[in-house]
Amino acid sequence: MTTKLEAINIMLSCIGQAPLNSLEGTKSSFTVSAENILNTETKRIQLEGWYFNTEKNYILTPDKNKNIKIPDDIIEVRTKSRRYVVRNKKIYDNLKHTFEINCPLDTEVVLKLDFENMPEVAQTYAYMSAAYKFAKRELGSEKACIYTQEDLTEAKHAMLQHELEIGRYTMIPDFYNGNIRGEL
């Protein structure tokens, strides 16, 4: 698994900066920029909702004030109905125009994981995307980075391929029971 330090060192190498021994202590402007871009890309990639950071049947329960507050590690909430939306980090009832929710909601959530807790294929996609953007911002040149648009396309393809293999997706709906009806 790639560490955040290794990912940032890859990014720094794209602009000819020396590698770091640690992310602790005083940081150069390049290091701060690299870390910020890596964090942004890590979150952006996870927002898509992959098998590794999506949880189905996630019950959100109202507190004593009948509010359902969204924890910081949840970056998206999907409900079965358009009735409920997220506003101000809480669930809002569009039908009743209130934050007061009387019962638990069965949702699907997308979690925001730390870089180190993502699978290697997702880490690679995140740091390659971050390195490319970092070099463009810091040096103003796409050619300055060792990673090209083609490399990013390959990393995203690997990510999608991994998602299809691990996620075991099917085009057959869940309600299909295997019985074929009709005359042969």
Q: For residue range 98-153, what is the model confidence (pLDDT) as tens digits?
A: 999 999 999 999 999 999 999 999 999 999 999 889 988 888 766 666 666 788 88
Tokens of 122: 């997702």
Are the C-beta atoms of residues 70 and 39 closer than 8 Å to each other? no
- Specify if 174 maps to a domain: no
What is the rounded CA–CA span in Å between residue 141 and residue 143?
Answer: 5
pLDDT of residue 174: 54
Beta pairing class for 105-111 and 54-60: antiparallel
78 and 161 assigned to the same domain: no
Proportion of the chain in helix, strand, coil states, percent, rounded to 5: 40, 15, 45
Q: How many folded domains does the chain comprise?
A: 2
**3-56 residue pLDDT tens:** 999 999 999 988 889 999 999 988 899 999 999 999 999 999 999 999 999 999
- CA 136 to chain CA centroid, nearest Å: 22
Instruction: Tell me the residue type at 25.
Output: G
44 and 126 assigned to the same domain: yes
- Specify if 172 maps to a domain: no
Domain enclosing residue 37, as ranges: 4-48+114-165
Of 56, 42, 170, 6, nearest to 118 by C-alpha is 42
Rg (alpha carbons) of the chain, rounded to whole number: 21
**pTM more than 0.85:** no
- Specify if 179 maps to a domain: no
Instruction: Give CA separation, 101 vs 48, 91, 92, 179, in Å.
Output: 27, 8, 8, 40
